[in-house]
Structure 1
Amino acid sequence: MPSVAIKCVPRDRIRHWGELAPEPWHGLSPADDIALLAQPDGARAPLEIVLLAKVSSGCAGVIQLLEWVELPNSFLLVLERPERCQDLSGVLAERRFLPEEEARGLFRQVLEAVRHCSSCGVLHRDIKPENILLDLATGQLKLIDFGCGAFLQDTAYTQFAGTLSYSPPEWIHHQRYHGEAATIWSLGLLLYHLVMGKHPFRRGQEIIWGRVLFPRRLSQECQDVIKRCLSMRPLDRPSLQDLFHHPWLQGVHLP
């Protein structure tokens, strides 16, 4: 039997609910040891489960929900788990920061995972090193923890969910943000964290100032990606597709 992770979500901590899509979705193949739990069409479930059901297939970079069980006081989520894995915050704690070339490959994987979520109509809202699992054997990343996620929408979000230190300046100024622009901001913070080993902004006021310093060892192309993602004005940030076409992210070997 493959290794799995069990996440327990207390019922009284669930703020948002949704309905599972009527059409079936597929996680594991019938030959796998753990079978997907059949749920009736339109079953009411915590939003986290609904979002995972939408993104759990079609992308190796997103964690798979294998099964979920409703208990009287909680929900249990059975998630895939690589045999040897560590989240990126643990990796950075051990190594301080990653060489630029290694960070480049990992960042490209995160972009692939985010693009998949967007194509499924899902916004993660809490992209940070703690929510990215690295398979130490293969180098494959997994985006995990959709507990702060939401359905992707074109209009602005007026409620914040996620990690405040990763919130974009428009939330600090105006208490509203658009999904893609906020995601790009968090991706810029993530990349800075990977290559520098720390968060660029320690306090909210620093986020408003937007001052980011770089060491000479970083290439101009890498600095450019970070600077663009951390533009103070949301409209000045690149789109997800723009990032895929940036020169720094070309020719990346993926596991």
Structure 2
Amino acid sequence: MPHACPRPRAGLHRARPRASRRGLASGRLWSYWRWRCWAGISAWGWGGTASLWLRLARARPRVAIKRVPRERVRHWGELPDGTSAPLEIVLLAKVSTGFPGVVQLLEWLELPNDVLMVLERPERCQDLQHFIRARGFLPEEVARELFRQVLEAVRHCTSCGVLHRDIKPENILVDLATGQAKLIDFGCGTYLQDTAYTHFAGTRSYSPPEWTHFGWYYGRPATIWSLGILLHQMVCGEHPFRRGQNISGDHQLSLPQGLSQGKDKEPLKKLYQGKFGNLISG
């Protein structure tokens, strides 16, 4: 069961921190990368996170650093080796290793006031939100391929017992060199369960109607709903609900004339309405 994050002792932040090192993929990291990482932590007293970031930013291969204040870590879990870790790290450990459609967690560090995650970052990449905005909308063949990859990533996560809960363009990274899409940011994630959830985590504009009206939702149908909104954004270039508009399953889609006609439109409508439940079943 997840447990609350312990509070750092008063005054601990003034002392030189001793960072605990709990790596999940130590064998995959280069020695010079390790040296720069630890050099940054030893310099915590005169540079803090900024110093560590600058040193890591010069390393190769390129990585991304995610910093989470300890007081914001509400749920903790346990890694396979018995180590206690923030739930986001535990979930990433379950789904990221060896699967290209999920961002790889390379290392993580626990400091007195923060938790740092070292994540892979392609040399040339862009989140899907900016990828769509730069083009207005995506041609159907491009949207089809990217959406297929997102579906595979979601199916992989659910097969591992993980529910992402915040699927949206900002949480999908596109490698501009290879076209590979990667699901990122499991900060709202949790374990997949068959019973209803009564606590919502994620982005409200992607929440399903049952949460809005009844205060509960099921993991797989809610994921299908958010995937439908994502697909709409890909091919139409905009969120299907205007800001402030009530989210409803009865909402009639207004699709552009340029989309494929006839039977090709029906899958978009059904997916948006949450009728393709088998798409993400393991």
Which amino acid letter does the alignment assign opposite residue 215 of structure 1? P
Using the alignment, how far apart are the partners of 2:207 and 2:180 within structure 1?
Answer: 27
Q: Residue 12 in 1 paired to residue 12 in 2? A: no
Contact 1:10 1:75 in 2 (8 A): yes
Report the alpha carbon displacement of residue 242 of structure 1 after superposing the two structures with TM.
7.7
Q: Secondary structure at the match of 2:118?
A: strand
Contact 1:63 1:144 in 2 (8 A): yes
Q: Residue 238 in 1 paired to residue 276 in 2? A: yes
Q: Secondary structure at the match of 1:207?
A: coil
Stretch of structure 1 that moved more, 199-208 or 185-194:
199-208
Contact 1:111 1:240 in 2 (8 A): no
Report the alpha carbon displacement of residue 222 of structure 1 after superposing the two structures with TM.
4.5
Structure 1 partner of 2:221? 181
Which amino acid letter does the alignment assign opposite residue 257 of structure 2? R
Q: Secondary structure at the match of 2:221?
A: helix
Structure 2 partner of 1:152? 192
- Aligned partner (choices 82, 95, 115) of residue 75 of structure 1: 115
Contact 2:155 2:280 in 1 (8 A): no
Using the alignment, how far apart are the partners of 2:280 and 2:271 within structure 1?
Answer: 11
Q: 1:65 to 1:76 in 2, by over 3 A?
A: same
Which amino acid letter does the alignment assign opposite residue 91 of structure 2? L
- Aligned partner (choices 101, 108, 113) of residue 148 of structure 2: 108
Structure 2 partner of 1:34? none
Report the alpha carbon displacement of residue 65 of structure 1 after superposing the two structures with TM.
0.3
Using the alignment, how far apart are the partners of 1:18 and 1:243 within structure 2?
Answer: 25
Report the alpha carbon displacement of residue 42 of structure 1 after superposing the two structures with TM.
1.3
Contact 1:148 1:162 in 2 (8 A): yes
- Aligned partner (choices 233, 239, 242) of residue 199 of structure 1: 239
Q: 1:238 to 1:85 in 2, by over 3 A?
A: same
TM superposition score normalised by structure 2: 0.75
Q: 1:243 to 1:225 in 2, by over 3 A?
A: farther
Structure 2 partner of 1:89? 129
Report the aligned-residue RMSD. Answer: 1.7
Which amino acid letter does the alignment assign opposite residue 211 of structure 1? Q
Of all paired residues, the percent bearing the same amino acid is 66
Which amino acid letter does the alignment assign opposite residue 13 of structure 1? R
Using the alignment, how far apart are the partners of 1:188 and 1:157 within structure 2?
Answer: 20
Structure 2 partner of 1:162? 202
User: Radius of gyration: which is bigger?
Assistant: 2
TM superposition score normalised by structure 1: 0.83
- Aligned partner (choices 257, 260, 275) of residue 216 of structure 1: 257
Deviations 1:7-59 (A, max 9, x none): 001001111111112xxxxxxxxxxxxxxxxxxx2111111000000001232
